Amino acid sequence: MPETVPAGLIAILRGVRPDEVLDIAEGIVAAGFSAIEVPLNSPDPLDSIAALVERFGNDLEIGAGTVLTADQVRDCKRAGARIIVAPDTDAEVIRTALGMGLTPYPGAATPTEAFAAIKAGATKVKLFPSSAVGISGMRAWSEVLPTGTELFPVGGVGVDNAAEWRGAGAAGLGLGSSLYRRGDRPDDVRVRAEAIASAWVHTN
């Protein structure tokens, strides 16, 4: 990972296929992202995760998204996943991930949900959808959440506001459609990844 890119950028490859995932990931890894997440509602997601782990597992964290059950956490672990990203705050998913040595990123849309995630053991919280919470909302959350809680805005983040989110205290960003959409060419994803990484570096 380039030393000039701070940690925290997570690529969300929703809809990616196993036969294309490595080519798509090349530019993301080169741009300095910290992690790649394959949502479980993608085609054969565990195959994509396993392929990414084999190729890039030493370079960045590979994991699964849209994880809704403890059984899915176990399946992801067997595929080599290291991070477990969820759209909701499910204590069983969080505790199962932690018990298996994985890092959970539960999704929270309110401070109440964020506190529930923290009570279950999470230290990293996916702020989702961040477009609804807003940057001012995230600042307000940060005032009351326990010290050390890391917030990762997802949904409505991209090259235009990456620096603003980081300047407001976001620990990282989850980049979905602003980085990759089903059917995108690897070169297009690489260009977007580089632009987002550059914006993340150049915080106002």
Give 81's DSSP letter: -
> Tokens at residue 125, please?
């919280």
Burial of 112 (0-12, 13-18, 19+ CB in 10 A): exposed
Going by C-alpha positions, the residue among 31, 33, 38 that lies closest to residue 16 is: 38
The residues annotated as belonging to the active site are 37, 126
CA pair distance 124, 112, nearest whole angstrom: 15
> Tokens at residue 156, please?
């409505």
CA pair distance 158, 80, nearest whole angstrom: 28
Give the count of beta carbons closer than 10 Å to the beta carbon of residue 44.
15
